[in-house]
Structure 1
Amino acid sequence: MTPLAALAAVGVLVVLALVAGLVWRARDGRRRTGRGETVDAADAGGLGSRATLVQFSTEMCARCPQVRRMLGQVAAGHDGVLHADVDLTHRTDLATKYRVLQTPTTFLVDGDGTVRARFNGVPLRADVEEALGSLPALQEA
């Protein structure tokens, strides 16, 4: 391979990595809808009467503590909303069961256990509040 061809190949790889990184960053923390999934109350340590913010984290996750604090504050500001932190370090079976590929991952679960929203990565507080506001039970309050 000539030096010019090798340099071109490296340039293409750098551009592809840059594009992949930008796409990943743009999707991080974005709200996605739950696809009819349900969360077992036992897996989350219990469910709130109106909603539960189920955070999946690990011991080595650097971004999980900030998400834990934010979700705890959001839950404390709403009646019937609970925040549950599930440590996947010791429950790897739950990562497979709920298709969690990165931490933190947060599910907004209604009182029946149905996943209404999913956030992969660090969600914005406003997005979590908006997702909570879209639940019918919370609009009646």
Structure 2
Amino acid sequence: MSPLAAALVLAGIALVAVLAGLALRRGQGRARRGGHGAISSRELGIEAGAFGERATLLQFSTEVCAKCPATRRLLADVAASRPGVRHVDVDLTHRPDLARRFRVLQTPTVLVLDGAGAPHARIGGAPPRATVIAELDRIGGVHV
């Protein structure tokens, strides 16, 4: 292969990598609607009654996640400011079965559940406060 052809191939690979990175970054922290059927605390291996009466911010984390502690603080703060809303953090480090079940490909991943445990939104990556609040507002009746 000539040096010019090799340089063009490398430039093409670099361009594809940059475009893929930009596409992935664009989706970080954005909410997507819908999800699985209702989720129970039992299937997550957490105590009964851990979910909120009106909504639950379900965070999936791992021990090595750099953004998870800040996300945990943000979600706990939002939940504390809203009646009937709770924050639940599930560590997937030793629970790959849950990662597969809920298709968690990155941490943090946040599911916004209604009072019945049905997911209304999924947020991949660290969510902005405004996105979390907007999703709670979308569920309805979860105002300060």
* TM-score band w.r.t. shorter chain: over 0.9
1:81 aligned residue: 85
Rounded Cα–Cα distance in structure 2 between residues aligned with 1:119 and 1:49: 21
Distance 1:16-1:102 versus aligned 2 partners, 3 A rule: same
Choose from 53, 56, 67 the match for 2:57: 53
Establish whether residue 72 from structure 1 lines up as the match of residue 79 from structure 2: no
Distance 2:100 2:112 in 1: 18
Distance 1:122 1:84 in 2: 15
Instruction: Kindly indicate whether the alpha-carbon contact (under 8 Å) linking 2:35 and 2:122 is maintained by their aligned counterparts in 1.
Output: no
Measure, in 1, the Cα distance between the counterparts of 2:87 and 2:97. 21
Kept in 2, the 8 Å contact 1:44–1:85? The answer is no
Aligned length: 140
1:35 Cα deviation (Å)?
Answer: 3.0
The answer to whether the Cα contact below 8 Å between 1:56 and 1:87 also exists between their aligned partners in 2 is yes
2:90 and 2:118 map into 1 onto residues whose CA distance is 17
Aligned counterparts, 1:101-140, within 5 A: 101-138=105-142
Give unpaired runs (5+ residues) of structure 2. Answer: none
> What displacement does 1:44 show?
6.6
> 2:10 aligned with 1:10, yes or no?
yes
Structure 2 partner of 1:37: 37
1:38–1:113 CA contact under 8 A, matched in 2: yes
- 34-43 or 81-90, which deviates more: 34-43
CA contact (8 A) 1:44 1:54 kept: no
Aligned partners of 2:139, 2:56: CA distance in 1, in Å? 11
Instruction: Structure 1: state its 5+ residue gaps.
Output: none
CA distance in structure 1 between the aligned counterparts of 2:95 and 2:21, rounded to whole angstroms: 29
Normalising by structure 1, we get a TM-score of 0.94
Aligned to 1:62: 66
User: Is residue 28–residue 121 contact of structure 1 (8 Å, CA) maintained in 2?
Assistant: yes
TM-score, normalised with respect to structure 2: 0.92
What amino acid is the match of 2:93? T
- Per-residue deviation, residues 57-92 of structure 1 (Å, max 9, x unmatched): 000000100100000000000001000000000111
| Aligned-CA RMSD value | 1.4
